[in-house]
Amino acid sequence: MIRGALAARLSGGWERLSPNHRGALWMVGASLGFTVNSAMVKTLTAGGLEAFQIGFARALFSFALLAPFILRAGSGMLRTRHPGIHGIRAFAGSAAMVCGFYAVGHLPLADFTALSFTQPLFVVLLAVVILGEVVRWRRWLATAVGFIGVLIMVRPGATAFDPAALVALTSVLGIAIAVTLVKRLPEGESHVTMLAYFCLMSLAITALPALLFWQPPTLEQWGLLAAVGALGIISQAMIIRAFRSGEASFVAPFDYLKLILAGLIGFVIFEEVPGPWALLGAAVIVGSTFYIARREAAQRAADSKLPIAPVG
């Protein structure tokens, strides 16, 4: 009885949230999942496993987790009227995954996370070009300020021009393309279909290189590989929920919260201590994120009073 009442209250509170705020909460959950995933991948690469092997294992375990849902729905689950969008999205996401695994294994976790924060800048641009969203100057400015915060953290130096850093930026662009294309799919398109295409494309891309670079994992590494696959697919599902719920240009900046999470995990697990520049950059990034949230809330209030109001 008590559990039922609590579930009903939570469900009611969730439904009262705006689509943008629901999307923001999904993004926060995904940020936590991907940050923990990065820490596990870093541990695996330190143990001698290659990015393609980790990518193949993640895709394999992720698809195994999806298989019951696909079997329950039948083979029709893989049918779609938008194979092109699915294909491009899956390829971009799969390539981004492999590049990201390589980069996180060769860069400090904080640096990798900082570089990943160029994603909202890509997403805002792609939201305008691909989705036709109207982004007013305040969101452009807030996103640019967030990017300046990333530059404060990275600063001109060896890390910024490290080949692994360029691979990380390639990963970011791939992710930005993948998440933006989610909005091009109709509302009725199944989340399981999107995830299944991603897993199948990932398996196709990583199978041969993984075989060539295969290193027999230990029992502990097998456990981490399974965890990477499970947490990866769960986080991917939350990303899809986030961008299906809210505007891409509003939801994307909440990914900045990974900065705080990466700093904590880096300190506890990898003994990485953020310096003053990192803290300053974090303050700028978090400040821009909360400003965007406040602007959206103020605009919602204005929209409720005016018949037609531009999105700020």
Q: Domain tally for the chain? A: 1
CA distance 43 to 100: 14
CA distance 48 to 130: 40
Residue 120, CA distances (Å) to 48, 177, 252 in order: 32, 11, 5
Residue 311 inside a domain? The answer is no
Residue 13 inside a domain? The answer is no
Of 27, 17, 21, the residue nearest 238 (C-alpha): 27
Two tokens, residue 30: 């995904």
CA distance 63 to 42: 22
Residue 238 inside a domain? The answer is yes
pLDDT at 22: 87
pLDDT by 10-residue block (mean), the chain, 312 residues: 53 72 88 91 91 90 84 71 79 89 86 77 77 76 80 60 76 86 70 79 88 91 91 84 79 78 84 75 74 62 49 36
pLDDT at 311: 35
Residue 15 inside a domain? The answer is no
Residue 64 inside a domain? The answer is yes
- Torsion angle of C-alpha atoms 229, 234, 235, 237, degrees rounded to 10: 120
pLDDT at 147: 78
Two tokens, residue 29: 């959950």
For residue 142, the enclosing domain spans 23-303
Residue 308 inside a domain? The answer is no
pLDDT at 179: 79
- Cβ-Cβ contacts under 8 Å for 293 (sequence gap 6 or more): 24, 254
pLDDT at 65: 83
pLDDT at 44: 94
Contact 81, 224 (CB under 8 A): no
pLDDT at 279: 74
Residue 36 inside a domain? The answer is yes
Residue 99 inside a domain? The answer is yes
